[in-house]
Amino acid sequence: GGEEFGQARCHRRVQADGRLYLQREFDHERRLAARLKEAARPAGGLDAAMTARLAELFAANVSADGAPDWQRAAAALALRQRLAVVSGGPGTGKTTTVVALLACLLAADPGCRIALAAPTGKAAARLTDAIRQRAASLPADIQARLPQEASTVHRLLRAGPEGFFHDATRPLALDALIVDEASMLDLALARRLLDAVPPGARIVLLGDKDQLAAVESGAVFAELSADPSLTPDCRAELAAACGVAPEALQPPPSRAAVLPDTVIWFTRNFRFAADSGIGRLATLVNGGRGDEALAWLRAGGDASVRWHDEAGREPGEAVRAAIAAGVAPYVQALRADPQDAAAVTRAFERFRVLCATRDGGRGVAAVNQQLGTLLRQALGQPAGPWFVGRPVMVRRNDYVLKLFNGDIGITLPDAAGELAVVFPAPGGGWRRIAPARLPPHDTAFGMTVHQSQGSEFEQVLLLLPERPSRVLTRELLYTGLTRARDAVAVAGPAEVLAAAIRSPTRRRSGLAARLHETPTT
């Protein structure tokens, strides 16, 4: 059967478990499940050379109390299996683990073809920088063979107006694929990406199961991460590689096994301790402990976390002052030298206003209008759509300009005073694009929490709406808080904050059910 939506016919399918699908979405889910089950198999045993290399790479992680090193275990799992899923919050050591894994793969096979990818340009750039920093301690020959750049998933698959070039019939030429921020992968993109990976290649998915899922349909990473179970044989092999007893690698309890020997959770945070301000608040939010979170915020016991308990359709004076203080270093950098794209970009990345909604007095549009006015006045610029320092976020892929949804550039003058939007160039340097050539875009002083995924800022001001909203969930709050590295301020009424902590996201995805099914051949 079918229903007409405009001129498109969308076929429906009702499964025995009560889920109603569009046929296209059901096909995506079924094909992705089959590909995941195909990938979730051993790649070979961990030999003595690999075990010795892991011990050397993770020597600094040895705990005095004999606690297991889950980073080392995750690297060992990714060497043992063709599919590995590593879930952990910001600062839990996912990139450190990947660098060690890459070193092991390249030491075992110097010609190993490795691709690094992430769903957005910002996340890809962060992965590139993080791997470069953490690889500094590796031997020079290994460093020289490391992938030099992470790409977006769309660029990796060679997206174009007609779709993706790479698919199951034209697979990627690689032996291992590492995908960061995999929680942002929607169902369709995840299926197309894994379809394009050769059957014998390793796949490593990194992300945070507690973050927001993709904007489009599906909760792929959250469903895959829900089952960290290890079979006795796998646990024994990982324990031998990590120098601990098998009982030490007993994973947390989870629901019924879907893809055993595939998932590891990281819970120890190396960026901020669980009892630090951001870490403690994120833990309370993630655990649904709203009363404790509010009591702790009211006590104001940590300088890295501030709460502006305010109501009103627009931000109050204290919040407006905090926003102005946050962008002050950016204004100063523009005054000092507006042609120094590197310095201006560094200043811009220090602080961001994150909003739960786009519209209303406490949404992204209002924040961008306020800060646009503030910046024009501070720099003495006339009113108009284009001005020095205006940051823009691309909203639609442009394959000719090689600009993609989520890319951020800053409007800066050249030596003659001509304005252009400056974007980081792949591999380093800068690209200047005339404003008239840009694809659809928005001003980006502030952004929604969804748009901030894959980003990290020194300071964040999280602006909540005046009343509870269906879009304001526990995962959105957690994601916004954990974009901050050093300090976070939350602005919104107590009842709104409490309602968000009480409201976990529920997606009716059926990927786990499809994984339990025998794939159709």
Question: For residue 373, is pLDDT > 60?
Answer: yes
Q: What does the pLDDT read at residue 257?
A: 62
- Residue 135 per-residue DSSP state: G
> How does residue 274 score in pLDDT terms, banded at 50, 70 and 90?
low
d(CA 448, CA 358): 7
Q: Which of 77-86, 253-262, 501-510 has the highest mean pLDDT?
A: 77-86
Averaged over 397-423, what is the pLDDT?
90
Q: What does the pLDDT read at residue 511?
A: 79
Q: Which residue has the higher pLDDT, 232 or 428?
A: 232
Give the number of other CB atoms < 10 A from CB of residue 381: 15
Tell me which of 53-62, 165-174, 285-294, 455-464 is least confident. Answer: 53-62
d(CA 301, CA 420): 45
* End-to-end Cα separation, the chain, in angstroms: 24
Give the DSSP per-residue string, 382-424: -SSS--TT-EEEE-S-BTTTTB-TT-EEEEEE-TT--EEEEEE
Q: Give every CB contact of residue 381 below 8 A, 6+ residues apart in sequence.
A: 375, 387, 388
Give the residue from 255, 88, 221 showing the smallest Cα distance to 511: 221
- Helix-helix angle 48-57:232-242, to 10 degrees: 60
> How does residue 125 score in pLDDT terms, banded at 50, 70 and 90?
confident
Q: How far is CA 205 from the centre of its chain?
A: 11
List phi, psi (to 5°) of 474: -60, -45
* Coil/strand/helix, residue 481: helix
d(CA 217, CA 240): 40
Give the DSSP per-residue string, 168-205: SSS--S-SEEEESSGGG--HHHHHHHHHTS-TTSEEEE
Averaged over 135-146, what is the pLDDT?
90
The distance between the two most distant Cα atoms of the chain, rounded to a whole number of Å, is 69
Residue 45 CB burial class (10 angstroms; 0-12, 13-18, ≥19): exposed
Asked if residues 515 and 257 have their Cβ atoms less than 8 Å apart, the reply is: no
Phi-psi region of 413 (alpha: psi -120 to 50; beta: other; left: phi over 0): beta
Looking at every residue in the chain, the average pLDDT score rounds to 87
pTM listed for this prediction: 0.85
Q: What does the pLDDT read at residue 402?
A: 82
Question: For residue 273, is pLDDT > 50?
Answer: yes
Give the number of other CB atoms < 10 A from CB of residue 41: 12
List phi, psi (to 5°) of 353: -90, 125
Q: What does the pLDDT read at residue 3?
A: 34
Q: Give every CB contact of residue 457 below 8 A, 6+ residues apart in sequence.
A: 349, 350, 351, 352, 483, 484, 485
Question: For residue 66, is pLDDT > 70?
Answer: no
Residue 390 identity (one-letter amino acid) = R
> How does residue 6 score in pLDDT terms, banded at 50, 70 and 90?
very low
> How does residue 250 score in pLDDT terms, banded at 50, 70 and 90?
confident
Asked if residues 123 and 90 have their Cβ atoms less than 8 Å apart, the reply is: no
Asked if residues 208 and 88 have their Cβ atoms less than 8 Å apart, the reply is: yes
Residue 194 identity (one-letter amino acid) = L
> How does residue 4 score in pLDDT terms, banded at 50, 70 and 90?
very low
d(CA 479, CA 213): 10
pLDDT digits (tens, 9 = 90+) for 444-491: 999 999 989 878 899 999 999 999 888 899 999 999 999 999 999 999
Q: What token pair was written down for 267? A: 């819970």
Angle subtended at Cα 204 by Cα 479 and Cα 90, rounded to the nearest 5 degrees:
25
Asked if residues 26 and 217 have their Cβ atoms less than 8 Å apart, the reply is: no
Question: For residue 508, is pLDDT > 90?
Answer: no
Q: What token pair was written down for 455? A: 């980003």
Q: Which residues pair with 83 in a beta bridge?
A: 203
d(CA 179, CA 498): 34
Q: List the alpha helices (DSSP H) in 19-161.
A: 23-39, 48-57, 70-80, 94-108, 121-134, 140-145, 153-156
